[in-house]
Amino acid sequence: LPVSMSLAKDASSAAQPLISGIQFEPFGGVRSWQMQMNSGTKLQERVYDAYGRLVRYPLGAVVRDITYDAADRIVSYTHLDASTGEATAAAQAMNQSFGYDELGRLTSIVTPANSWTIGYDANGNRTSVKLNATTRTYTTASTSNRLTSVANPTRSFGYDAAGNTLSDTGLAYTTTIRLDNRLGTLTKNGLTTTYQYDAGGQRVHKEHSAGLRDFAYDQEGHLLGEYNASGVVQEFVWLGDTPVAVIVGSVASPLPLLAYADHLNAPRVLIDKTEAARWRWISEPFGTTQPEQAPAGLSPITFNLRFPGQYYDSESGLNYNYFRDYDGTTGRYVQSDPIGLTGGVNTYGYANGNPLTFYDPYGLWGTDGVYDAIYNMTGGWEPSQGLVDFGGGFGDVVTFGISRQLRRVMDINSVNRCSKWYAAGEVSGVVASIAVGNAAGTRAFARNISPNGGSNFSHSLFSRKFLKRAGSSPANWMNKTGNRMNGDYIPTTGGRPDLHDLMDATAAGIGMNAAQRAKYIPWPAWRRLINRMPYTPGAAIYGVASMTFNETDCTCEE
């Protein structure tokens, strides 16, 4: 794992520190690093909670705290001054709170200055966006999820047969589409830009009459640099998936800018080595707001990285997003998903309607940023095959094979049912079944679920009359009150008929008068039969039978 990164003009030049002191969580996630300033170093530290969720990180002059609800959805951002730790007015002005619908889609954003309310249809298309007192309505084709128009202000869209956007009167562009459904050209304000892609689908070149850009990527798809006819425009430095720096300017006189990224690894602030903010993007969640290119009043910085996998194209107002293009003004893609419904029922939707938790680095499907944070903090831990087999064996016994059928239906079969770990899981499932059955018949459990905190002991498998007639020592042992091999504790109702009256015909008439005996008749024999088996031996029989059932069709790899 890296502990520092340095910058050199060329192979013969002395390297200058960029970041150092990189520290990782015990299981692999990045915890902190030191950014090299002119006056020393500046700490950038990320804080995780006990569940592996990122709950605090710096954003230049402020520190952001994240609050989650029980469903791991972000419900608020709050901010403190990074220098003093106080809730200054400037820091509090950045606070945001969020609300969701029952499907987890973002429906409200509230800041000290503004409030947004977003409405959706059943497929996740926007129907309205209300900003303060102004409402904008959206019309979507019912058969295709294509956005056809927006009102206030009026905006309309045109599409080809495959669902690619050919025109947008709001952003004022027209397009041509390649045979592979990729954006071929885009014309806006009389300027036509042509786009080219490599064999892997990454955009590597764009060009118009005013200039060109070439793009280079690493093996993970991170943008390493953009270049024009004169050479380097910008080059980017990554720590895993996190952008940590961008080098602006010529090779002879580079300007390194250090980056602050959010919990999704979207860049939010760039500072120079004097600690002056040179670029800042504190937007609402869907990224509609454009960045500040000169927040400290210095020379403006153009920086086009946006959400993970995205690059802002000034010639169109869209964000290139690997296999598609994203429109932050509508919060959706301008092309239908190339993987069809595999990415979701709405083939134009972005990040499942929740860009606070999800992101889409490939323009194909939403990725859970909270899960990714946990995955990264644990070093990408995945269960071993033995653990998978053990869990499969355990689950198959406990569910009497239902979990196995679910694996088949969902096509997630990866369990080796002939391994020793699967057999161990089956045995553990039997033991667990017995333990649960035993616990279910205890006096404590019966009293806990009883409305009046009482319990009776019901002899189940063999009746007391039968055992008394037998008269043998084993029969007397079985007939003993509290013997869990022939009965269980059951809750009382506090009145008549009691549950014991209904389950046990022998106990039914005890203490009742003639009218009660006539009124409160025990359950029929077939219904009492269900309750004849005591929980402990019954659970043992269930577990062994389930294991035997699973063994009848052993396939070594599902």
**Domain limits, the chain:** 398-541
Written as one string, the DSSP assignment of 462-487 is S-HHHHHHH-SHHHHHHTSTT-TTSE
pLDDT at 12: 87
DSSP states along 370-425: HHHHHHHHTTS----HHHHHHHHHHHHHHTTTHHHHHHHHTT-----TTSHHHHHH
| Lookup: tokens for 201 | 């689908």
pLDDT of residue 64: 98
Q: What is the pLDDT of residue 507?
A: 66
pLDDT of the residue at 530:
61
Rg (CA), the chain: 33
How many other C-beta atoms are found inside a 10 Å radius of the C-beta of residue 280?
A: 23
pLDDT by residue for the chain (558 residues), tens only, comes to 789 999 988 888 889 899 999 999 887 679 999 999 999 999 999 999 988 899 999 999 999 999 999 999 999 999 999 999 999 999 999 999 999 999 999 999 999 999 999 999 999 999 999 999 999 999 999 999 999 999 999 999 999 999 999 999 999 999 999 999 999 999 999 999 999 999 999 999 999 999 999 999 999 999 999 999 999 999 999 999 999 999 998 778 889 999 999 999 999 999 999 999 999 999 999 999 999 999 999 999 999 999 999 999 999 999 999 999 999 999 999 999 999 988 889 999 999 999 999 999 999 998 887 666 666 655 555 667 777 788 777 777 777 777 776 666 555 667 777 787 777 877 787 777 777 766 766 767 666 667 677 777 776 666 666 666 776 777 777 667 667 677 777 777 766 677 777 776 666 666 677 777 777 777 776 666 666 667 677 767 766 777 776 665 555 555
Report the DSSP beta bridge partners of residue 289.
none
Q: Give CA–CA dist 60/258, Å, rounded.
A: 10
Helix-then-strand count for the chain, H and E: 13, 35
Torsion sign, CA atoms 179, 183, 185, 186: positive
Angle between helices 535-551 and 385-398 (to 10 degrees): 120
